[in-house]
Amino acid sequence: MDIINSAIAQGILWGILSLGLFISFRVLNIADMTTEGSFPLGAAVAIVSITNGINPFVAIILAMVSGMIAGSVTGFLITVCKIPSLLAGILTMTGLLSINLRIMKKPNINLGENGTIFSYLEKINLPDNYNIIITGVMFSAIIIIIMYLFFKTELGQSLIVTGDNPNMASSLGISTNIMTIIGLMISNGLSAIAGAVLAQNNGYADVNSGLGVIVIALAAIIIGEVVFGEATFLERLIYTIFGAIIYRLLLVGVLQLDIIGADDFKLVSAIIIAIFLTVPQFKGKFFSRR
Question: Where exactly are the structural domains of the chain?
Answer: 2-289
Q: Which is nearest to 103 in space by CA: 178, 18, 28, 196?
A: 196
How far apart, in whole angstroms, are the C-alpha atoms of residue 96 and residue 114?
26
pLDDT at 211: 86
Tell me the C-alpha distance between 110 and 269, whole Å: 27
CATH domain 2-289 topology? ABC transporter involved in vitamin B12 uptake, BtuC (1.10.3470)
The pLDDT value given to residue 242: 95
Summarize pLDDT for 53-77 with one digit per residue, the tens.
Answer: 999 999 999 999 999 999 999 999 9
What is the rounded average pLDDT for all residues in the chain? 89
What pTM, to 2 d.p., does this model score?
0.92
pLDDT of 44 over the 90 cut: yes
Torsion angle (degrees, nearest 10) of CA 206, 61, 57, 145: -110
Q: What is the pLDDT of residue 260?
A: 67
The pairing of strands 108-110 and 204-206 is: antiparallel
d(CA 1, CA 4): 5
Rounded to an integer, the average pLDDT of 193-202 is 95
Q: What are the residue ranges of helices labelled H in 80-175?
A: 85-104, 119-122, 130-150, 154-164, 166-171
- Cα–Cα dist 69/289, whole Å: 49
| Cα 91 from Cα 40, distance rounded (Å) | 15
Say if CB 44 and CB 202 are below 8 A apart. Answer: no
Q: What is the pLDDT of residue 226?
A: 86
Give the distance, in angstroms, between the CA of residue 9 and the centroid of all CA atoms in the same chain: 15
pLDDT level of residue 281 (50, 70, 90 thresholds) = low
